[in-house]
Amino acid sequence: MNYRRKGLWLCTAAIAMSVSAVAQAQDGQPQGDANAANDDIVVTAQKREQNLQKVPVSVSVLSASALSDNRVNGLEQLSQVSPSIGFTNSANTRGQGLSIRGIGTLNFSDGVEPSVSTVIDGVVIGRSAASFFDFNDIERIEVLRGPQGTLFGKNSSAGALNVVTEKPSLYDTSLEASASYGSFNDVRLKGTGSLVLDKGRAAFRLSGFRSTADGIITNTFNGQKLNNTNNWGVRGKFLFEPNDATSIYVIGDYGESNRNCCVSMNRAGFAGGSNS
């Protein structure tokens, strides 16, 4: 089964000339003191950056380190670290689905949107099949429980997963890469580079991943391996902040998945009989 995902979006108009001055006047303290605590968790569950403790929404945050430490590589594995999330497999990627607090949508139709919304950097993924991708260059994942239709649209009646990727750094150039190998020739390669184009004003970030693995189920009729992994994708970002009142953020994303998916096995048999 082949599946491709493309995206190009623009997040602009971050105009806040008087926000810092107003905040300083209301709080009666310097702006730097407000962010002095390094352990503050900042979320965007309400479309703006807020301290988690001040957000009136049932939300939990999964950081990049938490995902890495628990070997979570995709949305279908989030239930390992967030008990309110459930994942239901299917014989087709279109039928796979997520649930929050036991509420979700399972349907093979492309015209039916899920009730758990997946949002990547502010862009809603409207189809279930497009929601399942390998995590790469993730800053955090916010799990919003309960109806979120006011801010995230009609396909979030059960909740939303707000995926936030890392932004380009305007001050530091960096390069990161990782590789892993596991059973069934499971190979995962990831790389990320951030380049400062104009210090304090412009930066570019590029990330990519490649994951392959042999199938774990064998078709005894023809010997074909099923449920393999064959995914790759790239993401490019450009951040331009010419002054304190303007921020231009452009993201381009491309991903492709080619798999023999999604076969299940009968684990139990029932023998019938009659008593005479």
* Tens digit of each residue's pLDDT (9 = 90 or more) over 191-226: 999 999 999 999 999 999 999 999 888 888 888 888
Examine residue 133 and state whether it is found in any structural domain, yes or no.
Answer: yes
Instruction: Give kind and range of the element (H or E) at residue 65.
Output: helix 64-69
Given 113, 145, 165, the domain boundary residue is 165
Residue-wise pLDDT for 237-274, tens only, equals 999 999 999 999 999 999 888 887 777 666 555 555 54
- Say how many residues make up the chain: 276
Q: Label the pairing between strands 116-120 and 159-165.
A: parallel
Given 131, 165, 199, the domain boundary residue is 165
DSSP 172: -
Q: Residues 150, 62: one domain?
A: yes
Q: Which of 37, 11, 48, 20 is nearest to 162 (CA)?
A: 48
Look at the block and give the residue holding tokens 């490019």. Answer: 236
Examine residue 273 and state whether it is found in any structural domain, yes or no.
Answer: no
Range of the domain at 224: 167-263
Tally of domains in the chain: 2
Q: Which residues contact 71 (CB under 8 A, 6 or more apart)?
A: 77
pTM above 0.95, yes or no: no
